Amino acid sequence: MSESKETPERTREKLRQEELKRNPTGNMNDAFNRTESGNLADLVGSLGWKGFGILILVIVIGFVLVSRFFK
């Protein structure tokens, strides 16, 4: 696959792998901080628009069911 046809996901993963090789302890610190604050951009990027839409739908349905249960 040439550089010009590389998808953004592959580019991000390639950069992440290079960073991991150069600085493993810094990457571990980033991972700990990411779990504390959450990272919506990575979630959406990994799921895609269909997966993210389904996730939102499940959350909304769950919220409606819980609100009716406690009403």
| Residue spans per domain, the chain | 3-69
Q: Which residues contact 55 (CB under 8 A, 6 or more apart)?
A: 47
What pLDDT, in 10s, does the model give residues 27-53? 566 666 666 666 667 666 667 778 888
Q: Where does the pLDDT of residue 70 fall: very low under 50, low under 70, confident under 90, or very high at 90 and above? A: confident
Residue 66 is predicted with a pLDDT of 92
Residue 9 is predicted with a pLDDT of 86
